[in-house]
Amino acid sequence: MIMKKRVSVILAWILAGVGVLAFFLPWVRPAVQARETSPLEVANQLASGEDSFFDSWIGLRKDEWRVFWQRPTTGLSGYQILLLGSDEGIQAKQAQEWLDAVFGDRGGLGRLANVLPLVILLLTAAFLSPRKPLPRLFGAGGVLLLAFYLWGRWRLDGTYTQRVLAEMEIGYGLWITLYATLALAILAGLRFLNPKGKW
């Protein structure tokens, strides 16, 4: 029975691990052609295409897919963004201004939110581990994770225009964090609905 339950537990730990790893991968970075594009190109990008529900809440837009794997080592990771607040250096200040232009993060809430996925990922993995099922914890963890995923997508969707204007791209690290969170939310939800399931 324990062996059968390990599937979900192992999966939960893998997802939590991926989420943690993605925290150290690029989350945001300047576009390749930053400061060289004409405002008209920016206008053209904004005017092209309409967002569907899928684009906004589940998948990626075409231009986001296009840059997903590009320059995998370039950009600020979630961890670096977290450190920006305490760094007094000019480059850090510039980077912070750059993030402010997109996310309007002046109160530090955004930085706090960066830590949140880590905490939730670990918590959920812990919820999924006990031998004795704890359905309420699964439920609460699932809701928290889903809320974080939706909050992240809402934030990214709402700042798309700013990102285009500020010539900024979202790196694959942030996407992976979000999708790992969503997958964990689904897993926790399934365990909540079926706590005695043999998986």
Partner 1 sequence: MFRLLVFLGITLFGAVAPAWSELSHKVEKGETLFALSRKYGVSLKQIQEANPGLNPQNLKVGQTVRIPEPASPAKQAESPKPPGPAPVRPAAADNAGDVPKGAYRVQAGDTLSKIATKFGVTASQLRVWNDLPSDRIVLGRILRVAPPDAASAKGGNPAVAEADPAPVSAKQAEGDKKAARVAEPAKPVEARAEGQPKAPEYFFVSKVKSKIDGARVRKGRWKYIVVHHSGTRNGNLKIFDYYHRHRGMENGVAYHFVIGNGMDSGDGEIEVTNRWKKQLQGGHLASEELNEVALGICLVGDFNKTRPTRKQIAALVELIDYISRKTGPRPKFMVHREINPKPTDCPGKYFPAAAMHRLFDGRN
Q: Output 31 or 140, the one with its CB closest to partner 1.
A: 31
Is 84 in contact with 95 (CB distance < 8 Å)?
yes
Tell me: does residue 40 bind partner 1 (CB under 8 A): yes
Tell me: does residue 167 bind partner 1 (CB under 8 A): yes
d(CA 158, CA 160): 6
Scanning 40-48, 107-115, 120-128, 137-145 for contacts with partner 1 by CB under 8 A, the matching segment is 40-48
Helices (H), the chain: 2-22, 39-47, 53-57, 62-66, 78-84, 90-103, 109-128, 135-158, 160-165, 172-193
Scanning 72-80, 111-119, 163-171, 183-191 for contacts with partner 1 by CB under 8 A, the matching segment is 163-171
Q: Output 11 or 63, the one with its CB closest to partner 1.
A: 63
Among the listed residues 10, 21, 32, 49, the single contact to partner 1 using CB under 8 A: 49
Please provide residue 76's backbone torsions phi and psi, each rounded to the nearest 5 degrees: -90, 130
| Identity of the amino acid at 33 | Q
Tell me: does residue 81 bind partner 1 (CB under 8 A): no
Tell me: does residue 104 bind partner 1 (CB under 8 A): yes
Site residues (vs partner 1, CB under 8 A): 38-50, 98, 100-102, 104, 158, 160-163, 165-167
